[in-house]
Amino acid sequence: GAVVSQHPSRVICKSGTSVKIECRSLDFQATTMFWYRQFPKQSLMLMATSNEGSKATYEQGVEKDKFLINHASLTLSTLTVTSAHPEDSSFYICSARDFRLAGGIYNEQFFGPGTRLTVL
């Protein structure tokens, strides 16, 4: 089956530093990757959609200069939290899908295991 990995699984950083989270599709090519954020006991909230070779599309209220997304290849998207602050502490989850497959938007999104970010 399709596998999506994230690295690191946990990261603790000091306030003001930047943190990069990687999302990889291991056995398929992902034309599109999605980044979600999950607060404790709350929903997954879509932050942005990352398309290979083009700029990410951010959801309303998400600061694109704060959360930098790069989707440089069909198997890798990165989310960089710049100048992190304690309020950025959260669980970040990515998902991936291949729109080129027959069925297009009806294809399943495959989720990564998530990255827990703690900003001190």
Partner 1 sequence: AQSVSQHNHHVILSEAASLELGCNYSYGGTVNLFWYVQYPGQHLQLLLKYFSGDPLVKGIKGFEAEFIKSKFSFNLRKPSVQWSDTAEYFCAVMMDSSYKLIFGSGTRLLVRP
Which residues in this chain contact partner 1 in the complex, by CB under 8 A? 4, 32, 34, 36, 41-46, 49, 93, 95, 97, 99, 105-106, 108-114
Distance CA 91, CA 10 (A): 9
Minimum gap (Å) between residue 114 Cβ and partner 1: 8
Whole-number Å distance between alpha carbons of 72 and 49: 13
Whose CA is closest to 119, among 49, 21, 5? 21
> Which lies closer to partner 1 via its Cβ, residue 75 or residue 84?
75
Q: Which is nearer to partner 1, 56 or 84 (CB)?
A: 56
Q: How far is the CB of 90 from partner 1 (least distance, A)?
A: 14
Q: Pick between residue 77 and residue 95 the one whose CB is nearest to partner 1.
A: 95
Distance of closest approach, residue 14 Cβ to partner 1, in angstroms: 27
Q: Which is nearer to partner 1, 52 or 82 (CB)?
A: 52
Buried b (16+ CB within 10 A) or exposed e, 14-27: eeeeebebbbbbee
